[in-house]
Amino acid sequence: MRRGEGGWWRGRDDGGARGTAAGGEGAGGVAWGMDGMYSSVLPRNAGWTEAMGELTPLIALGLVALGIGASSYGVLIGSGGGFIVAPLLIILFGVDYNVAVGTSLFTVALASISGSVSYLYLRRVDLRSGLLFSAAAVPGAVLGIFGLKLVAEGSFEILFGAFLSLLGFYVAFRPESARKGIVKTTHKEEGGHRFSAPRRFQAFGVTRRRIYTSDVGTYRYQYNEPGAVATNGLFGFLSSFFGMGGGPIRTPTLVYLFRFPVLVATATSVFTQAIYTTIGTAGHLIDGNVDIVRALLVGVGVVAGAQVGVHLSGLFRSAWIMRLLSLGLLGIGIQLILKGAF
């Protein structure tokens, strides 16, 4: 805090940071600089300081719109939308990749919490699996924060883009495999069916699940629980490293490898990431990787968009949900590769 001459003052202090002063204490007024007031409350963050000076009403509206679109689409496919927010903050808004990752994960946590509330109300979440997946992902989420510091910006963009593009191709060419090994029944017919999972899943560690949803009937399936839990440890690392909840990876993995029903996989994925992305976000905040202003603006959009995505999920067939996921992954992945290379 430093003293000014009274009245409202805007400018730069000796360190170059933007400041704002509110007068009123006699001849001396009170001046608050960014390096004074905000650094005492939040971690010192270049993104925060720059946002206060560079943010225009049009950019603010763009960030809210980004949150609505990313969250609507993301929650629909079992993600928080981070795989859209992080690269578009880099491509469209010119945000440093470290800050883009931390800010994106902040918004993913908000979107996932909002979406989880609705999915829990619809009873589509496999609670046991979701809690186990979250517990496995937390250590990886912490490690991902440290791994991010070791990669240069151009290399990060190319790596992220290649990762998303390969995943998009995989999802595009495996749309029908999600139907195998799953029994879906109505509440009245549920007792007349047996589990139909492939024989290779009849082994140690296989867990049978029965989910009674409130809107689409009952799902019965089984999967290799130790394998799925271990896989989610890797997803936790990728979440904090790339700034996304891991839904674009977890959803197709649960559907194609572990034979979850698509609607249960998307809901459980959103619930899982609501827990560990909150922990990952705390780490990025401590590390100074979150642009609070942009995060809150995008966050306003993601909270609203998450509810839109939940309602849209009941209108789309499972195959279309996976095709939408594929298109999003490919489009953003190619954009990132081009940006990193040129």
Based on the domain organization, do 67 and 33 belong to the same domain?
no
- Report in angstroms the alpha-carbon separations of 81 from 17, 68, 109, 299: 32, 9, 10, 11
Q: How far is Cα 338 from Cα 136, in angstroms, rounded to an integer?
A: 34
- Report in angstroms the alpha-carbon separations of 15 from 32, 34, 289: 13, 10, 21
Residues 126-149 have a mean pLDDT of 89
Taking the mean position of all CA atoms in its chain, how far away is CA 288?
18
Based on the domain organization, do 18 and 53 belong to the same domain?
no
Per-residue pLDDT at 44 exceeds 70: no
The more confidently predicted of residues 64 and 110 is: 64
Of the given ranges (106-120, 133-147, 189-203), which has the lowest mean pLDDT?
189-203
Per-residue pLDDT at 119 exceeds 80: yes
Q: Domain count of the chain?
A: 2
When the pLDDT of each residue in the chain is averaged and rounded to a whole number, the result is 75
Instruction: For residue 202, give its domain range.
Output: 44-341
Based on the domain organization, do 194 and 325 belong to the same domain?
yes
**Which tens digits make up the pLDDT trace of 316-338?**
776 777 777 788 788 878 878 88
Q: How far is Cα 234 from Cα 254, in angstroms, rounded to an integer?
A: 14
Based on the domain organization, do 21 and 143 belong to the same domain?
no
Q: How far is Cα 91 from Cα 88, in angstroms, rounded to an integer?
A: 5
Contact call for residues 116 and 268 (beta carbons, < 8 A):
no
Looking at residue 126, its pLDDT comes to 96
Based on the domain organization, do 78 and 12 belong to the same domain?
no
Looking at residue 341, its pLDDT comes to 84
Query: What are the residues whose beta carbons fall under 8 Å from the beta carbon of 91, sequence distance 6 or more?
Result: 335, 336, 339
Q: Where are the alpha helices (DSSP H) in 258-317?
A: 262-286, 292-313
Helix (H, G, I), strand (E, B) or coil at 30: strand
Based on the domain organization, do 49 and 22 belong to the same domain?
no
**Which tens digits make up the pLDDT trace of 2-28?**
334 333 333 333 444 434 433 443 434
Of all residues in the chain, the percent with pLDDT exceeding 90 is 22
The more confidently predicted of residues 266 and 80 is: 266
DSSP letters along 197-263, please?
Answer: --GGG-STTEEEEEEE-SSS-EEEEEEEHHHHHHHHHHHHHHHHHHTS-SHHHHHHIIIIIS---HH
- Report in angstroms the alpha-carbon separations of 198 from 61, 104, 257, 276: 50, 38, 11, 31
Based on the domain organization, do 5 and 124 belong to the same domain?
no
Residues 28-54 have a mean pLDDT of 41
Residues 75-103 have a mean pLDDT of 84
DSSP letters along 93-129, please?
Answer: T---HHHHHHHHHHHHHHHHHHHHHHHHHHT---HHH
- Cα three-residue angle 58-301-121, rounded to 5 degrees: 170
Instruction: Assign 204 a pLDDT band (cuts: 50, 70, 90).
Output: low
Instruction: Assign 296 a pLDDT band (cuts: 50, 70, 90).
Output: very high
Contact call for residues 240 and 143 (beta carbons, < 8 A):
yes
Based on the domain organization, do 14 and 50 belong to the same domain?
no
Based on the domain organization, do 5 and 54 belong to the same domain?
no
Looking at residue 252, its pLDDT comes to 82
What token pair was written down for 52?
């206060």
Pairing assessment for the beta strands 183-185 and 30-33 based on DSSP bridges: unpaired
Based on the domain organization, do 182 and 90 belong to the same domain?
yes
Per-residue pLDDT at 31 exceeds 50: no
Q: Which residue has the tokens 């309602």?
A: 311
Based on the domain organization, do 31 and 104 belong to the same domain?
no
Contact call for residues 85 and 66 (beta carbons, < 8 A):
yes
Instruction: Assign 36 a pLDDT band (cuts: 50, 70, 90).
Output: very low
Based on the domain organization, do 18 and 82 belong to the same domain?
no
Per-residue pLDDT at 83 exceeds 70: yes
Residues 160-168 have a mean pLDDT of 84
Residues 215-238 have a mean pLDDT of 89
Looking at residue 25, its pLDDT comes to 38
Contact call for residues 306 and 108 (beta carbons, < 8 A):
no
